[in-house]
Structure 1
């Protein structure tokens, strides 16, 4: 057996009221001038003002230039805001997009060049050689789990292709996971982000990579999401359901150290070509890809059905997914969400080039992706 390397380093404060601990944490580290990196929508909502009320005594600035799928220009804008404020630390506050931007603002603020020059597969990738600002993360959605990840996904400004900056150096020094921050999420966002969290756990478990630690986390994350998602959508103020979904989200992000699969390759393509919300894109593709995958790993589907409480074994898992989507209000096919036949060639090209499907349990060719997109259309 070849050697494997495992790491679970993130420090997490979890529970209702965790957001109130941020100021004390920063003061304990001698930090006084945080830059909050968030998105436009959140910046205008009471939830950010309420969080700021717990930062009294600190010189706080806000960068709210994140919107849609995060882009390189948004990162560079955040770096400019960091310098203008004379900031000494960064608070990431938001969903996956805001947190992905926040994680790499520190690189752009302390290093030369554009952030795209730091993506892992850049032909002349620049090293992260300087010390990075202290960074803490507060998720306001339960989907990507970006708060505990060591990667940041940002799109190129012109092509909209998603690129990945990957380094343990961008991990948050501390995560403040407060489920009360998700109470105001509308049902459709709770549903889409929740399906993202579920997809992370499912695809991580199905990955053939060797990582039993992540397998255990992925199965438990799947179980938690399966029991909590409908309640979180239907009862937005239910603290237990919101807590469960926030935990399932973080577990999915930890588990995908094993990497993901073809659902995510399809979703990345749909985001780049059609600007679909990432969680929605996963939800629209998951049952189609899972039907295809089950043929090669039926025993794993039996286990997924078991942890989700689905009677009938692995054969019933995909129908359960379809019913779950309908229950939380995710309906229609790709064509109902703006995907057109003339998008197909570009979708297939991007999905085939995407790294995620390299750990799909069933190898994927361009022809396979064409069939998968057609089946979901």
Structure 2
């Protein structure tokens, strides 16, 4: 109901609450969008609520591009740009998790810019971002990347699977319709993996080098929300799958908590990320591991590496999840217990990944752009040790 929907801006306008997705036509009209391209992935496109969103735009000249799956690659963006241009679209509705969100941003960038997407890679751009970028309205269906409130898109090379980041403030969606009802049907495994992605963003942002007390405060509150809601979300999903009765109000509250935590993670990591993400990016590149799952498995080993560098910050985070915590190790212990409770594998071997891949993983991770913000410098030998720890866990 409308009375359950609230509005806040940071700086994106966020309409948060059950039923907020039904405000799509109103928000598109306010932005002057008449010919939207809906960008989603092939799984979301099959869901009944997505059909409802499409039907709500039947009086507009809307078209859907659902050619997104897995870790998004350049060819998906290229195909989406062609659909955008053929349709003569004037805006984008991004619906789904991190993959369609990132592809939607990349389509928006390339709709009016020449050349190859990677010509605009953050920090290595060879072309200026100086053409109009069409407005985006984002409707998230997972609580993980928080890409709906982010200014960047992470897209992989089709051949090498190397991840590249495209960044520009104009890529930030104009409006987010954050409707927790859309998350109620998420399977337990996706709920767990995306939830650990959000948690990793929050923890790494808080630990990242540099000064940004605004991000630090947001990160701590986000960790608090994960501690209170992620396990419940996974439990509710498991019970749903088993046909057991659940409390709909409690389930909705838990999903709402994680949806906020996810956005807070994406907002806070503008401060920076760290070694966990560098390790996870290498796993996605080499082994095509789901990003959130890779973060979840690597997080304990990475935090064991980081503990000595920031014991006071670890203690502050530990006391968010357990007010009686006496040291920072309590945070790592909590992460391990939470991971086990929600079904995140305890080691890389559980994914069928061989220790023979460590050298390749290290060579990719050392070149990743996230670990320079890590609170403790990470050498090649350190990466070896962190991966070995993750295999032995």
TM range (shorter): over 0.9
Partner Cα distance (1:261, 1:120) in 2: 17
310-319 or 200-209, which moves further after superposition? Answer: 310-319
Take 1:293 and 1:369, find their aligned partners in 2: how far apart are those partners?
12
Q: State the partner residue of 1:26.
A: 28
- Please say if residues 28 and 137 of structure 2, whose CA atoms lie closer than 8 Å, have aligned partners that are also in contact: no
Deviation at 1:67, TM superposition (A): 0.7
Write the distance in 2 (CA, Å) between the matches of 1:156 and 1:121.
Answer: 17
| Offset of residue 103 of structure 1 | 0.8
Moved over 4 A (4+): none
Q: Is the 8 A contact 1:66 1:98 kept in 2?
A: yes
Instruction: Provide the residue aligned with 2:65 in structure 1.
Output: 63
Partner of 2:195: 194
Quote the RMSD (CA, aligned, Å): 1.3
Matched, 1:287 2:300: yes
Cα distance between partner residues in 2 of 1:157 and 1:167: 22
Deviations 1:71-100 (A, max 9, x none): 111111110010121211100101001100
Matched, 1:113 2:115: yes
Normalised by the length of structure 1, the TM-score is: 0.95
**What does residue range 237-316 of structure 1 map to in structure 2 within 5 Å?**
237=248, 238-309=251-322, 311-313=324-326, 314-316=328-330
Equivalent in the alignment of 1:185: 186
Contact kept, 8 Å, 2:209 with 2:272, in 1: the verdict is no
- Cα distance, 1:55 vs structure 2: 2.3
Alpha carbons 1:76, 1:114 under 8 Å: kept: no
Report the alpha carbon displacement of residue 271 of structure 1 after superposing the two structures with TM: 0.4
Shift of 1:239: 0.7
Note the C-alpha offset of 1:331: 2.2
Deviation, 1:365, is 0.6
Answering whether residue 318 of structure 2 is matched by residue 317 of structure 1, we say no
- Distance in 2 between residues matched to 1:87 and 1:8, nearest whole Å: 27
Partner of 2:349 in structure 1? 335
What are the superposed Cα offsets for residues 18-64 of structure 1, whole Å, 9 maximum, x if unpaired? 11111111122332211111111111221211222332411221101
Match of 2:59, SS state, is: coil
Q: Deviations over 1:244-280 (max 9, x none)?
A: 0000000000000111010000000000000000000
Q: Which moved more, 1:128-137 or 1:272-281?
A: 128-137
CA distance, structure 1, for counterparts of residue 345 and residue 149 of structure 2: 30
The match for 2:167 is 166
Contact 1:293 1:362 in 2 (8 A): yes
Shift of 1:176: 1.0
SS of residue paired to 1:35: strand
Question: 1:285-312 CA distances to partner (integer Å, 9 max, x unpaired)?
Answer: 1001111111121111111111112643
Provide the secondary structure at the position in 1 that maps to 2:92.
Answer: strand
Q: CA deviation at 1:8?
A: 4.4
Structure 2 partner of 1:53: 55
Aligned twin of 1:351 = 365
Give the Cα separation in 2 of the matches to 1:310 and 1:345. 40
TM-score scaled by length of structure 2: 0.92
